[in-house]
Amino acid sequence: MGYTAELRAAWRPILAATIGLGTGMSIVGTVTSAIAPSLIDDAGWSKADFAMVGTLGLATTVAMPFIGRLTDVLGVRLTALIGLVTLPLIYLAYSFIGDSLALYVGIFLVQSVICVTTTSTVYTRLVVQYVRNARGLALAIVASGPAIAGTVGGPVLNAYVEANGWIASFRALALFVAITGVITFLLIPPDRPTTGTGTLVPRRARDDYPLIFRSPAFWLLAGSMLLCNLPQTLMLVQLKLLVLDNGISGEGASVMFSAVSLGMLTGRFITGAALDRFRPYAVSFITLALPSLGLFIIASSFDDPLVILFAIFCLGFLVGAEGDIVAFLVARHFNLSIYSSVMGLLTAITSLSAASGAALLSYTLGRTGGFELFLTICGFSVIAGAFLLLMLGRVRVGEASEAGGHEVAKQTGAQPAAS
């Protein structure tokens, strides 16, 4: 099947994953960045205290391996349904917290554990299952969901918060994600049976996880995710505060939301298409290392709005490129039967990195009162993480796939990971 024909044939799972990812937990960063300043001002919380809330993402670190495993066992449709039902209720609950930081923390913990069934660990499995030759571009299309939501919804939400406040904004979001959740669930194809009885092939964790942990590819990917995601807290909860600290007005922050979303879109499509055509490890290194320039620019004394705009675009490009790369490389080195189990572990490491970044940011803010030291540290960590992906090119492709996936592949008709 041709490159574009394969995309057309898989339109339904691709669209389902795009909408689901674009309206699920992946847009929480946009939501929190838009609402946080108004919420902090009304509730009287300090920036440092609010930054520490990000460390509770450690709960996601614990949950994601289970979510990944659940997806491999139950399939995408049933796993995603958990978060599709819960996320609207979470947004509604936020609107009733008043000025209680403890209540916010409690809801945030529930969200961090349950609603992560609407993340790439679950939805990118649809791409890996249905697309092979155009996998990089298909992953870019799916990963563009949050960027499109941020480009269109970020400025709209920011303006809505300014006009109506954070309570009304959370309630509007609850209604919106309830509607998109229904659409997503109806679009997800029923999981194809893998046995004659119509049930999924039972997989034993005691067989699969030693296979994963013996793979050098897993440890290089894990190290890269740990280093590359330290600055993630800036995108998740601190973006508006960051640009305000650099002299950008509240209205100007709307432009910055668009810039980061445009950067994510650009990063995803350039990286996705390049991964299909060029050496994926060189592509991974270049597309992750170069955008770290944005971190150094923001840390510098250059506060011209256009310079900051370019730097924010670079941060978006970094996030967009990384989203494509990790899913593509996991599919390249591991079989479909354990794809989400591996993704769950890597997403847990990503969450650990983001939580560690939040703790580091809280510490550096408390010591220096500014973002500069944190940005500089993160700039170097991203370059180091990109270098680990370049080293991944020395690992033989498909070791884990060949060892653990062919029997299931025969039963399902699915193909082993691309070589």
**Angle (nearest 5°) at CA 290 between 289 and 296:** 95
Q: Any idea what the CATH number is for the domain that residue 247 is in?
A: 1.20.1250.20
Instruction: Give the closest residue to 241 by CA, choosing from 100, 61, 374, 139.
Output: 374
When divided into structural domains, the chain yields a total of 1
Find the domain containing 245 and state its range.
3-189+206-412
Q: In this predicted model, what pLDDT tens digit does every residue of 359-409 receive, in sequence order?
A: 888 888 888 877 888 889 999 999 999 999 999 988 877 555 544 444 333
For 359, residues 6+ apart whose C-beta sits below 8 A from its C-beta are 52, 54, 55
For 204, residues 6+ apart whose C-beta sits below 8 A from its C-beta are none
Residue 102 scores a pLDDT above 80: yes
| In-domain check, residue 201 | no
| In-domain check, residue 196 | no
Q: In this predicted model, what pLDDT tens digit does every residue of 295-307 receive, in sequence order?
A: 898 888 777 778 8
Radius of gyration of the chain (CA): 20
pLDDT at 215: 92
Residue 206 scores a pLDDT above 80: no
For 380, residues 6+ apart whose C-beta sits below 8 A from its C-beta are none
Give 184's pLDDT tier (boundaries 50, 70, 90). very high
| In-domain check, residue 156 | yes
pLDDT at 173: 93
| In-domain check, residue 15 | yes
| In-domain check, residue 197 | no
| In-domain check, residue 320 | yes
| In-domain check, residue 392 | yes
| In-domain check, residue 200 | no
pTM of the model: 0.75
